[in-house]
Structure formats: C-alpha cells, structure tokens
Amino acid sequence: MSLSQRKILIGITGGIAAYKVPELVRRLRDHGAEVQIVMTEAAQSFITTLTLQAVSGHPVHTSLLDPAAEAAMGHIELARWADLILVAPASADFMARLAHGHANDLLATLCVAARCPIAVAPAMNQAMWSAPATVANCQTLLQRGVYVWGPASGAQACGDVGAGRMLEPEQLLLAVRQHFQGVLPDQRLRAETFTDYTASLNASPLQLPSPLPQILRDQRVVITAGPTREAIDPVRFISNYSSGKMGFALADAAARSGAIVTLITGPVSLATPNQVTRIDVVSAQEMFDSARTACQDADLFIATAAVADYRPETTAGQKMKKQKGAPITLTLIENPDIVGTIAGDTQNAKRPFIVGFAAETQNVLQYARDKLVRKHLDMIVANDVSQTEIGFNSDDNAVTLVWAEGEKVLPRASKPTIALQIIEEVALRLAQKG
C-alpha cells in the first residue's frame, strides 16, 4: 500500500532505540509519506538533528519556545498538519507525561493539541516496562484511544533480556500501513487486557497474549506439526522426538493474527488452538497428501513438522516375532519431500509463501542456507536441536530466520513468543511481496 500524501509526525524521546529512526523515516518516505520530526531534549543526546533533517527533508523541531515558529503558532500548525503522530521510541517518562496530559515540551504539547490518531512505540528496560506505574499509564493511554505498538522481547542494550525493545523499522512501517488501511483499530490492545498481556511474556508455554495484531487477516495458512510415524509392523514404528509444540504455537499465533489456519499434525497430545482446523495424520505420505491438497489455495505454508526422511520398504501384516540370535534387517526407502515438492509445484497457479524448518545438530546455519536454496523456499527457520533446553519436547526455543536477503536471530524465549516473532517477520515479507 502506498502512503502517498500521508503526513506523519515522528516524535523521538530519549532512548538508545533512537538510532533506528532514520531507517524508519527512510522507509516511510520510500512508500510516499511526508515525514516531519519532533525531538525532546533527551532525544538529542542519542541522535543529531542534522541526520534527521537529511533523511526527512524537513527542519527538525526541538523547542516549544522557538520565537520564529511560535509567531505563527507553530506547535498548533504541526498538530493540525499530521495525519498520524508516532512517538518512537516512547520512553517510560514520556508515556507517563502523555498519560497525565502534560504539555511541558513541544512533543507533549503537540500530542495534547492533536486531533489525529497517536501511536507510541515503547522502548525501555524490561523492569520499567513491567513496573506497575508503566502498566497503569499504558492502561490510561489505551483507554483514551492511543495505539501501543510493541514492545518486542529480546536482548536489551543494558544486558537484560525481556520485553521492552522498540519494534524494528519494518514492523513500524507495517503498522503505519495497516493503520491507513483501517486494520489497526482491531489491533489495539484493550486496556483491561494490558496486565494480562505483560504477564503473558512469561506465561506458560502454550499461551499467547490476546488480542493480537491482525497482521495475517484473511490469509489462508497451512502449517504442519509434530512427528510422523512409519510403521514397521502393527505395533512398531520409526519416529522422532518432536512434540509438535512449535507448530501448534505457530498455528495459535497465526489464528490470533487473523489467519484462516489449517493445522496438519502427526501424532501428538496437544489441544487444538482456537479457530484452527486440525487434520490428524500418521505417516509422511498422509501428511504429504493432506498438505499438497491444502496448499492449492494457501497464501502461506509453514512446514514445521519433523517428517521422517525414510520408511520401511514393506510393513509386516502381523507383529514381527523375536527370533533368538537372529538379526532383523529393515530396508528403508525415501519418503516424499513435502516442503520441496510444494515449493516446486508448477501445477499450483497460486504458489504460497513457503517457510521451512531446519532442525540440525551441527553446522546449523550452513545446512539451513543450503536447504533454503535447494528447496526454493522463501524463508527457513534454523533450529539447533542438539541443545536439550531448546530442542525437541522443550518449552523454549531459540532460532535464526534466514531468507535470501538476510537473517535475523530470535534469542531464547518460550515457543509461543518465538512463534509470534516468526509470524510478525513472515507478515512483513508478505506485505513486501504484496
């Protein structure tokens, strides 16, 4: 979507995340927006006005008491000019002042005087983000219709790990575009659920904050999950340790993000996420057949399942009896390559965006990049399953997303948190593709 003729006022407060703003401004202008910038005094300690003037093409506004500007009531004119005010980064101090209606600097005054929508992109230490005062201030802002975009969770400049990172420029760009498409009002967190949202960052492995941004609204998503079982005889089979938790977390995150989700799962003991259509299969061949059919009209295919590479050439009709001292020889044949076949399916006129998984125990990124190219995938999630705390059956994960133009590390977090981060990144790629 073009942002042509959209007027966006970026407010910058004091925080190390200010270094991301020039890229955000550049991306907004690439999409046609006109951008002006207001900085607090603290923000000027982190990034220069000269840099921001260069990327925005406008003088940067810093003072409420600028005689030249105020001769024409400059702060009121700026407030009237904007179609959207986005404060990024938004510090805990600024959010507190905004919640209490302070007008003691230019940015706060503009927000008080504005009649356009206001969004804040929080950026602060994880302890500050979860502090009761911040939670209360955020509840107040949400009740007044201010959008709260983020924060993300991960490593922080202070060395802590947790929620409080400002969203990346591409994520904020997507939020702005969705706002002007009329999607964002459905994304806004309700004030009464904000405490649940912050608490959910450390919630149990199969819970996600609700509601979530509708970044995959009406997209048809197919996800495979869990292991497959390849029968040796009626009571024995070849399989692996996959629990299905990652695939189910992805299905939940996608459904909560507005997608129409079909989850094709091998044998697991997990509850079906809400608003998800579940197809149970056992073997790799069954999963292949179901996935190929479901992907005929899919927009996105995420191949999370740990599919057995091989199956016995023949399956005994009766239980194979142990013969003392006599070895049993199994001849294995290759199973169909589900993600590779669907990625290369020339009969599918509407090829979905395809995300694969590379569960490896060594040379993880090397093997993942090879699989990305060899199987013609759009993105791959590299996962080191040799680490027991983030491997099969664990509640946490840590992955690296790899695509043709780059990669992104997602530090260790609960699988629902990782799933949400993957869905956010995939939504960005789909938006760029569209």
Asked if 172 and 121 count as a contact pair (C-beta separation under 8 A), the reply is yes
| Partners of 359 in the β-ladder | 383
Three-state DSSP class for 379?
strand
Phi, psi of 8 (to 5 degrees): -120, 125
Q: Using alpha carbons, select from 49, 51, 58, 50 the residue that is nearest to residue 29.
A: 58
* CA gap 272, 301 in Å, rounded: 18
- Distance CA(421)–CA(399), nearest Å, equals 10
For residue 109, report the phi and psi dihedrals to the nearest 5 degrees. Answer: -65, -45
Strands 276-280, 260-265: parallel, antiparallel or unpaired by DSSP?
Answer: parallel
CA 423 to chain centre: 4
CATH architecture label of 220-316+328-433: 3-Layer(aba) Sandwich (3.40)
Say what angle helices 49-56 and 21-30 make with each other, to 10 degrees. Answer: 10
Report whether 150 contacts 170 (CB < 8 A). no
Domain locations in the chain as residue ranges = 7-202, 220-316+328-433
Please report, in tens digits, the pLDDT of each residue of the chain (434 residues total). Answer: 578 889 999 999 998 999 999 999 999 998 999 999 999 999 999 999 999 999 999 999 988 766 555 444 456 788 889 999 999 999 999 999 999 999 888 999 999 988 889 999 999 988 888 888 888 888 888 878 888 888 877 666 666 667 788 888 888 888 888 788 765 433 333 333 344 444 433 333 334 444 566 788 889 999 999 999 999 988 888 988 788 999 999 999 999 888 999 999 999 988 888 889 999 999 999 999 999 999 999 999 999 999 998 899 888 888 888 878 778 888 999 999 999 999 987 556 678 999 999 888 788 889 999 999 999 999 999 988 777 667 676 778 889 999 998 889 888 888 888 898 899 889 888 877 76
Q: What is the pLDDT of residue 66?
A: 62
What are 224's strand-pairing partners? 264, 303
The structure tokens listed for 251 are 């299905």
Model pLDDT, residue 155: 64
The fold for domain 7-202 equals Rossmann fold (3.40.50)
* Catalytically annotated residues: 158
Give the C-alpha separation, 132 to 294, whole Å: 46
Residue 434 confidence (pLDDT): 60
What stretch of H or E contains 413? strand 406-414
